[in-house]
Structure 1
């Protein structure tokens, strides 16, 4: 019989990570899209680093930084009573760093895709930058917002290396679905691993299918044949 606790923890982690990344990644993507300075190239490289960096490498350095012996881990433990290593809060922060490009890059592309004349017209009508962002720019990049949220959610559901390095394998705390699959394989329970993997495979396919359908619909709307 399947233990559904890892699914619950994975969903909780993915929802929390996606929500927080949207709040943090949105302003960052806005800055990257409209900031004219050369320094943003360095920031873009940092944001995209998790795409090419092996998860275990990223997880290793996060484990060092999150350790109570390091200033960051000690700060959270002393002032917030939060232990970042082998805990759910630590998983959230690590997942946000690891999934950052999956939120920021679609949003950045969305901001750049909005015609400048729309925002300029709003400014001429006396609208503030915040009102223009909320009522003009964001409604015209809904597909990019959905794509960023869906990809971030799906990527967080399937992550393994960073989760294992930071969270370990603590039942009802850090044992997410990817760790549960690893456990089943280690125990040579291939039927259990197959059931977990099949559910994750179907979920991932449906997520990608939804993203492609969304993008195709947007393309056909923008460029009707």
Structure 2
């Protein structure tokens, strides 16, 4: 396939496996969190919003360093995993999933939150007037109306995880078949001056990233036009 070596195919498979797992986890976490951020008047909203958005401005190496400390046998998460009989999280696929969920969180929360904020309150108020409880309003009114935001968040979360490098290198290192994703494989090729293979993998990610962004902007434009009709 595209002249890829078995190691490159494994790296691609591992990359998309990681991105898919992280996206599913993020949707379950981000949707109720985004709903709370969009609806709550608590004084904690600003603090939680800043905490969620922190990975956007924080260097990945800094985030990866603190994850590495937390995942170590002496760290809080490392000690907890050991007490539960789990293997170490550092330099493992499970550790990559946990770190990637935190790192990609704002890219999923923010589109969903924006969709909830832009939602017309009249439909929610009408449902409440008819006796619908808050849970029913959320599942029957809010989620269907926020489907573009949900889809956008899922796509951006997936794509952002595919493009991770700093956090993954700090947490997972470069273990073939376990933590060696495409971005790390490209780095390995560049280090060994193997630019031909680096270019091939980079081109695949470049085309993938453009298609994802084009689709997201197209859907957002279509949603905006339909909202004016």
TM-score by length of 2: 0.95
Give 2:169's aligned residue: 164
The answer on whether the counterparts of 1:86 and 1:174 sit within 8 Å (CA) in structure 2 is yes
Of 64, 69, 76, the match for 2:69: 64
Structure 2 residue aligned with 1:50: 55
3-state SS of 2:146 partner: helix
- Please give the alpha-carbon distance, in whole angstroms, between the structure 2 residues aligned to 1:144 and 1:125: 26
Gaps in structure 2 of 5+ consecutive residues = none
Report Cα offsets for 1:41-82 as digits up to 9, x if no partner.
Answer: 011001000000000011011111111111221211231413
What is the deviation of 1:132? 1.2
Alpha-carbon distance in 1 for matches of 2:21, 2:118: 28
Distance 1:77 1:12 in 2: 25
Cα distance in structure 1, aligned partners of 2:86 and 2:48: 31
Within 1, Cα distance between the matches of 2:142 and 2:172? 38
Residue by residue, what CA displacement relative to the aligned partner does 1:162-184 show, whole Å, maximum 9, x if unpaired? 00000000011000010010011
The 2-side partners of 1:141 and 1:5 are apart by 35
Alignment counterpart, residue 195 of structure 2, candidates 190, 211, 216: 190
Q: Are the counterparts in 2 of residues 9 and 176 from structure 1 also a CA contact under 8 Å?
A: yes
1:83 and 2:88 equivalent?
yes
- The corresponding residue for 1:119 is 124
Q: Number of residues paired by the alignment?
A: 224
The TM-score with structure 1 as length reference comes to 0.97
- CA distance in 2 between counterparts of 1:112 and 1:215 reads 15
Post-superposition shift, 1:161? Answer: 0.1
**Matched residues in 2 for 1:86 and 1:17: separation?**
17
Question: SS where residue 86 of structure 1 aligns?
Answer: coil
1:213 pairs with 2:215: no
Q: Which moved more, 1:124-133 or 1:156-165?
A: 124-133
Q: Find the aligned partners of 1:81 and 1:117 in 2 and give their Cα distance.
A: 48
